[in-house]
Structure 1
Amino acid sequence: MSDTQKNETVATEQPPAAPVSATEPGSAPASEKKQPFFTRRTVLAMTGCGVAGLVVGGVLASWGVTTASIASGRIELRTTPTKMIVTDRARCSGCQRCEMMCTLKNDGATQQSIARVRVWDNYNFGSGVDTNDGIFGNCQFTVASCKQCVDPQCAKYCPVHAIHSDEETGARVVDEDVCIGCGMCSAACPWNMPHINAQTGTSTKCISCGRCAEQCPNGAIKFIDWEDIAQKAIDEGVVSTVTIVEA
């Protein structure tokens, strides 16, 4: 299974067997296909550990990602072949600008009900009973978006196979020309991430475009290039430049 077909979370990362070259085998020349120099697979291979190992090793600490911040529920990590996505609840002020800019870019209008990143769902009382979160608790808001699952239920239960991995980003996307708007993807998703756009009659979901992160005034959402993480791993002495070019 290729990088563009598989996305991982901290809980499912497995350390690779051996270092690999930073250039993907069989990749097209830069003039034919634009690809990042480092991908998730090459970074994890050259460091010899999974995402959890990068966290424990302190490689991600400069982005606020530590074992303590993850354990407390403040930080959530998701990964795609090209990016690591970090959401920090403590930085979210509940302004909902992410929702507005998400739909403005992807749908041409601000429409909270179909936003691919969502704060409003947990705005008042948090993500569940007795969480003491939300505006009536401690003012920490849950920033919810697609988990980019390894085994995506939305794609598995789509009766017309309208959901697939984007070739460039690896994110699951909906083919609107194929989607029939039945809502099975939303029902199958444990987090109810896909929503049906009443105007188009098709499903919408996060495609990891990064617009929410670009427009967040507090830095509550970050899209981090794997190349930056690779450089940090080198700076921290987790891996050497010799390992990068080692076959």
Structure 2
Amino acid sequence: MSEEKKGKNNFLEKPTSRREFLKKSVIGAAGAAFSVSFLSMFTDSAEAEVLIVADGIVISDPVICTGCRRCETNCTAINDNKAHPYISRVKVGQNYNYGLQGPAMYYWTKNGQMGDFTIIAETCRQCESPRCAAACPMGAITADPDTGARVINTKKCVGCGNCVTACPYDIPTIDPEINKSTKCNLCEGEPTCVAGCPTGSLKFVSWDKVERTLIERERIIKGQAIY
């Protein structure tokens, strides 16, 4: 694995809060190098296994996302043979509430962005050392040999929910109908959510552009969203 790719993956490791993430993103934009991954900073000696680098990740552009949630429907139609936005690998609905004090439901895990009409679709970061994989007692989360996506082996998954708790992005979700976890598998390198996005908000970004794209995205969010 090249040092360049390792550095890009370390950039994606999740800090303790979005505000801290933004702080580190600004530092990164100024050219500082992160020599220690976020994962090693916030976990104990039971470190996650380092997996092969994924081809890239899906990133949303909050400027042109309309919140139509078509990506959620397309995702589950292809991967689960049903329209079930709750288990989608793209998370638009969890940011659909209105600000800090607005209406809330049990699956809305964020503070909400729509108070100022900013809609943020959260996606899997395909972390180099995924916490979801480290937390799985069955070893059900591994790297796809072709795309490098962190995928769930449903034959091994027991629906314990450890991956759900471990992921700082709230991406893995337990399908209540089959008691199995779901997360982004990059659709064999051709993400359905990207292909079906009517505004082009969702893009599959290769590793050589991931860091720059995420820094710009977080700048937009910092300037527009409510925290």
TM over 0.5: yes
Question: Aligned in 2, Cα 1:12/1:101: closer, same or farther, shift over 3 Å?
Answer: closer
Q: Which amino acid aligns with 1:99?
A: E
| Secondary structure at 2:63 match in 1 | helix
Aligned match of 1:216:
197
Root-mean-square deviation (CA, aligned residues, Å) is 3.4
Question: Aligned in 2, Cα 1:179/1:121: closer, same or farther, shift over 3 Å?
Answer: same
Aligned match of 2:170:
192
> Does the CA contact (< 8 Å) of 2:54 and 2:126 recur in 1?
no
Question: Aligned in 2, Cα 1:10/1:153: closer, same or farther, shift over 3 Å?
Answer: closer
Take 1:116 and 1:203, find their aligned partners in 2: how far apart are those partners?
Answer: 10
Deviation of 1:200 (Å): 1.5
Deviation of 1:100 (Å): 0.5
Take 1:8 and 1:181, find their aligned partners in 2: how far apart are those partners?
Answer: 31
Sequence identity of aligned pairs in percent?
39
Residues 1:175 and 2:153 aligned together: yes
Q: Which amino acid aligns with 1:211?
A: T
Query: How many residue pairs were aligned?
Result: 165
Aligned match of 1:69:
none
Residues 1:83 and 2:62 aligned together: no
Take 2:157 and 2:6, find their aligned partners in 1: how far apart are those partners?
Answer: 22
Per-residue deviation, residues 101-140 of structure 1 (Å, max 9, x unmatched): 00000000100110110111011235x67999633x1211
Deviation of 1:204 (Å): 0.4
* Matched ranges for 1:34-45 at <5 A: none
> Does the CA contact (< 8 Å) of 2:72 and 2:90 recur in 1?
yes
Residues 1:97 and 2:77 aligned together: no
Take 2:150 and 2:68, find their aligned partners in 1: how far apart are those partners?
Answer: 27
Aligned match of 2:81:
108
Per-residue deviation, residues 179-230 of structure 1 (Å, max 9, x unmatched): 1111011011112211111111111011122111100111111114579x7x
Take 2:7 and 2:185, find their aligned partners in 1: how far apart are those partners?
Answer: 12
Take 2:65 and 2:101, find their aligned partners in 1: how far apart are those partners?
Answer: 20
Deviation of 1:84 (Å): 4.9
What are the ranges of 5 or more consecutive residues in structure 2 without an aligned counterpart? 14-25, 31-52, 103-109, 210-227
> Does the CA contact (< 8 Å) of 2:12 and 2:125 recur in 1?
no
Q: Which protein has greater RCO, CA pairs closer than 8 Å, 6+ apart?
A: 2
| Secondary structure at 2:78 match in 1 | helix
> Does the CA contact (< 8 Å) of 1:8 and 1:149 recur in 2?
no
| Secondary structure at 2:186 match in 1 | coil
Aligned match of 2:113:
134
Question: Aligned in 2, Cα 1:140/1:207: closer, same or farther, shift over 3 Å?
Answer: same
TM-score norm. by structure 2 comes to: 0.62
Residues 1:11 and 2:16 aligned together: no
Deviation of 1:8 (Å): 3.9
> Does the CA contact (< 8 Å) of 2:57 and 2:124 recur in 1?
no
Question: Aligned in 2, Cα 1:122/1:84: closer, same or farther, shift over 3 Å?
Answer: closer
Q: Which amino acid aligns with 1:214?
A: A
Q: Which amino acid aligns with 2:200?
A: G
TM-score norm. by structure 1 comes to: 0.57
